[in-house]
Structure 1
Amino acid sequence: KSHASILIWSLGNESYAGTVFAQMADYVRKADPTRVQHYEGVTHNRKFDDATQIESRMYAPAKEIEEYLTKKPAKPFISVEYAHAMGNSVGDLAAYTALEKYQHYQGGFIWDWIDQGLEKEGHLLYGGDFDDRPTDYEFCGNGLVFADRTTSPKLANVKALYSNLKLEVKDGQLFLKNDNLFTNSSAYYFLTSLLVDGKLTYQSQPLTFGLEPGESGTFVLPWPEVEDEKGEIVYQVTAHLKEDLPWADEGFTVAEAEEAVTKLPEFYPAGRPELVDSDFNLGLKGNGFRILFSKAKGWPVSIKYAGREYLKRLPEFTFWRALTDNDRGAGYGYDLAKWENAGKYARLQDISYEIKENSVLVKTAFTLPVALKGDLTITYEVDSLGKIAVTANFPGAVENGLLPAFGLNFALPKELSDYRYYGLGPNESYADRLEGSYLGIYQGAVEKNFTPYLRPQEAGNRSKVRYYQLFDEESGLEFTANGADLNLSALPYSAAQIEAADHAFELSNNYTWVRALAAQMGVGGDDSWGQKVHPEFCLDAQEA
């Protein structure tokens, strides 16, 4: 009772409600009238509603919270636990932070802060690894911070949405809201940056905007003139601390926003390559490259540039991802199991080619081992420089429901262990977890793309990718968007390897695995024991 950091007294946790809690509430009100008390259990038994001065619920969907907030509530609402951060999670947190527009919404507490993995012989272990039975296995891995205290990609998303400075860049202007309770926005300095195709071409001197707590304002920003034809233009604004604080140093970025004048790359063939049509293969060659398509398999079986072979295995369609903890909890392993091997066992129906003026088209059609309306087709347009424009088309079918992902898998030499890309970064991102990721050029080691969740699962996806390069000291490959941005991951392991592993130390690296996706469903995060990914972040196989 002598700890001044206590803000709210809790009567207990997950224990229903009854007369004992009513008596405790009476005691707390008398013993400490300066603080409010809460108890989540009364939401299950409204007879004891007077035991709490706060409407506090666990893992309530955002829509249900909004229903409460719009009905002239008598009590403020706090999500005493929400956004269960287990594994690759915290999807659509924005649906909750958007509720701050209601005066009675007082935010919530993400469960949890740190994974509870235990280290043994250099590895992080979890329930069941110590022959403990019964056990909840990796259910202790629900932190925004990993057990070794390194930060997870989820934390960047939380930082962006929890920031007390709300920034929006639109038509070159800054819309700023100061949600601090006591601090003027002049305590921060702001930088404006202009990027062209991801490269920084301009940065302003520090700017100051003075808004009192709770105030909003619009500010005209100093931007240089840029010709549209120079490439994709991105206007970015960042807010930074002016001085050292106990929790961060001067210059720390507290908020960021951007506006992109999008100009995505498009493929224009540069001339026709030489075509060799044999009994079993189709060959395409030009200056410094050789590409070989198998007529029996329907896939490229060899892609060589400057004599180096880049394909280590046949490419495959992919409709699957290694299940996340939320996927398992939502039952997607059962509901979507038909997609796991649909691409692996696709059956070739036809392969043909067409000679065009400045390129050669190789066309293939496949049937999948699930009911479809028509074939899945893929077309390769190859030009004289060895560029390959790939177009995959999946018509979908009503009976196929949700789709985890759609794209292609490539097994490349593991020596291609470094990457550089232009897209959202620097961390992994997903359709429902884009906040905290910003357009730019990022680079690093492929092995670092595999996020070390306590139990291996889908990881490493980069969203809105314009181009992605993989290379070693000698040479490399580039995957480029063609009129629409990509989701792309480059990892030391395949989705099948990740799906089969219980711990990261069980995985072995034979190739650099690339998953180039048109789309992937969100990761979800309302809870990890039943809540589905929100519909707006799902893929409908009827409209793939």
Structure 2
Amino acid sequence: DFGDKPNDGNFCLDGLVYPDRRPHIGLLELKKVIAPIRIESQYLEKGTIKITNLYDFIDLSHVSLFWKLEKEGCIIDQGEIYDLDIVPQQSQTYTLPYILPNTLPNKLQVNTQTRKPWNEFYGRYYLTICCIQKKDTPWAEKGHEITFEQYELPILKESAEITCADTSTSVSTGTSTGTDTDIGTDTAAYTDTDTYIPNIKVEQEGYLITIDGFDFCYVFDVYEGAFVEISKNYVDMIKEPLKFNIWRAPTDNDRNIKHKWMAEGYDRATMRVYDVKITNQTDISVEISVDFSLGGYIKLPILQGKAVWTVDGKGEISLKVNAKVREGLAFLPRFGLQLIMPEDNEEVEYFGYGPHESYIDKHLSVRIGKYLATVDEMFENYLMPQENGSRFGTEWAIISNELGMGLKFTGCPNFSFNAAHYTPEDLTAAEHPHELQKRKETVVNIDYKMSGVGSNSCGPELLEKYRFDEKEFEFKLKFMPVFKEDE
């Protein structure tokens, strides 16, 4: 900034805290790794856990244990163990007094009207255990969380097979640490086709395909190969055409790999459309197929793919992308769908890892739950603008205005996403936070995958298991306009 040479750029203030002493997310990750207490599951169906004191010289009399049991993000039970009488380097087993609905019938009863399993226990259960400081100390106040662990409990849950399959009627159970429950081969399953679906009207005039439903209108542009209008009850949900995106603003740790990305045009990749056609149409649905490629100018395509968009009479848009990445390229930063939503879409609700940002290699300090935030709160304002604010492992998300009108995205089975007032290109171009020009619109990226952030600024290259290096992949997503009061 001041012409002094040599200099470390923004690395002169790239520690575990910001200059104003706010902790970086990296510090929260470190805190979790070096926690002086270890929590382990023993037999979750009976509530049995093991606590190990990793301190060398003090017992755990200064710590109390809190636990809560949540179903789909809502607390259904909670409790406390106030005294942890564990001496240094020793362990103790405890039993948490929750009761699980783990005695399920072999064959679930089914509601004859909705065809859904008539079982109040059906769902996702998570147990979160926290170790809390009992009193004030010079380094932290009473109530400070020292560490936590979270476990998904072995309860029958709705599988991705039901949520995301096109026509499947099978029912499966999730994996668990206990014994799986056999629900029977003739159990009726609930699928989207079992509910009433209104008719739609499809018209093509020139290069525009218009899909009108009971309370929605979508317009698909054949030249763009994407939707250019999505509205419900005359409320517009997008400001610009949808598009696929592979670029992220380079992080500090991308300082080396970004040169390979830019050399191949990742930062300027746009979509080229080769063929668009309606491949299936009924009274209640329409399917549009798009053959496309993504690439930068004067470069061979980075990837080629086929996107199949399906719209049904409820207004739900299903997307399936099958893509092949050109051989010999560096791993991709990301692949996903980018939407520009109109001004005032400031509320973000989601079920996944939170409350702060997380990535495939950076999510030890977050826990699964239902979160509500604003778009500004989703943004992590690094001193060198870069990729930030992603939420890894999200099952669903709703981006809406203050009246609850917006878009709901459902993963198949999950996705990473971020919502901000900046595009990846905005973040790439700026070198300081004050150079960012905040947009009124909300920029939403729903990613099939994003590469990890690693530590390659001064450490090893990103580990292969955290790279998005698939040469062929399939991405599925469902989304639709919603009014949250109707959900």
Same fold (TM > 0.5): yes
Structure-2 residue corresponding to 1:298: 225
Contact map agreement 2:294 2:303 (CA 8 A) in 1:
no
Contact map agreement 1:501 1:507 (CA 8 A) in 2:
yes
Structure 1 residues 350-379: Cα deviation after superposition (integer angstroms, max 9, x where no partner): 332412575322221202336569841222
Whether 1:355 aligns to 2:281 is yes
Select which of 169, 174, 181 maps to 2:56.
Answer: 181
Could you say what secondary structure the match of 2:70 adopts? strand
Rg comparison, structure with higher value: 1
Structure-1 residue corresponding to 2:449: 519
Whether 1:403 aligns to 2:332 is yes
Structure-1 residue corresponding to 2:141: 249
Contact map agreement 2:390 2:416 (CA 8 A) in 1:
yes
Whether 1:333 aligns to 2:259 is yes
* Cα distance between partner residues in 1 of 2:22 and 2:267: 34
* Cα distance between partner residues in 1 of 2:53 and 2:85: 9
The 5 A counterparts of 1:135-534 are 135-169=7-41, 171-172=43-44, 173-226=48-101, 229-261=121-153, 263=158, 266-267=163-164, 268=192, 271=197, 272-328=199-255, 330-335=256-261, 337-338=263-264, 340-341=266-267, 343-356=269-282, 358-369=284-295, 375-510=304-439, 511-525=441-455, 527-529=456-458, 531-534=460-463
Could you say what secondary structure the match of 2:341 adopts? strand
Structure-1 residue corresponding to 2:180: none
Q: Displacement, 1:346?
A: 3.2
From the two aligned structures, give the one with the greater helix fraction: 1
* Cα distance between partner residues in 2 of 1:347 and 1:401: 24
Deviates more, 1:134-143 or 1:192-201: 134-143
Unaligned runs of 5+ in 2: 102-118, 165-191, 474-487
Q: Displacement, 1:170?
A: 5.6
Letter of the structure 2 residue corresponding to residue 199 of structure 1: C
Q: Displacement, 1:515?
A: 0.7
Could you say what secondary structure the match of 1:380 adopts? strand
Unaligned runs of 5+ in 1: 1-127
Contact map agreement 2:342 2:442 (CA 8 A) in 1:
yes
Q: Displacement, 1:307?
A: 0.6
Contact map agreement 1:449 1:490 (CA 8 A) in 2:
yes
Q: Displacement, 1:337?
A: 4.2
Letter of the structure 2 residue corresponding to residue 385 of structure 1: K
Could you list the runs of 4 or more consecutive aligned residues of structure 1 that deviate by over 6 angstroms after TM superposition? Answer: none
Deviates more, 1:217-226 or 1:339-348: 339-348
- TM-score, normalisation: structure 1: 0.71
Could you say what secondary structure the match of 1:485 adopts? strand
Letter of the structure 1 residue corresponding to residue 38 of structure 2: K
Question: Against the structure 1 CA distance between its residues 530 and 257, is the aligned structure 2 distance closer, same or farther, given a 3 Å change threshold?
Answer: closer
Q: Displacement, 1:250?
A: 2.0
* Cα distance between partner residues in 1 of 2:385 and 2:422: 10
Q: Displacement, 1:493?
A: 0.2
Structure 1 residues 283-325: Cα deviation after superposition (integer angstroms, max 9, x where no partner): 1121221010011111001001111112111122111210001
RMSD over equivalenced CA pairs, Å: 2.4
Could you say what secondary structure the match of 1:433 adopts? coil
Contact map agreement 1:234 1:258 (CA 8 A) in 2:
yes
Structure-1 residue corresponding to 2:482: none
Q: Displacement, 1:175?
A: 3.1
* Cα distance between partner residues in 1 of 2:60 and 2:265: 50
* Cα distance between partner residues in 1 of 2:446 and 2:59: 45
Provide the identity percentage: 24
| Equivalent residues, number | 414
Contact map agreement 2:52 2:91 (CA 8 A) in 1:
yes
Contact map agreement 1:281 1:292 (CA 8 A) in 2:
yes
Q: Displacement, 1:385?
A: 2.0
Contact map agreement 2:322 2:472 (CA 8 A) in 1:
no
- Say which structure, 1 or 2, has more relative contact order (CA 8 Å, 6+ apart): 1
Deviates more, 1:410-419 or 1:342-351: 342-351
Question: Against the structure 1 CA distance between its residues 279 and 170, is the aligned structure 2 distance closer, same or farther, given a 3 Å change threshold?
Answer: farther
Q: Displacement, 1:458?
A: 0.4
* Cα distance between partner residues in 2 of 1:256 and 1:447: 27
Structure 1 residues 230-285: Cα deviation after superposition (integer angstroms, max 9, x where no partner): 32111111111122222222222111111124756615365253222333211112
Contact map agreement 2:289 2:307 (CA 8 A) in 1:
yes
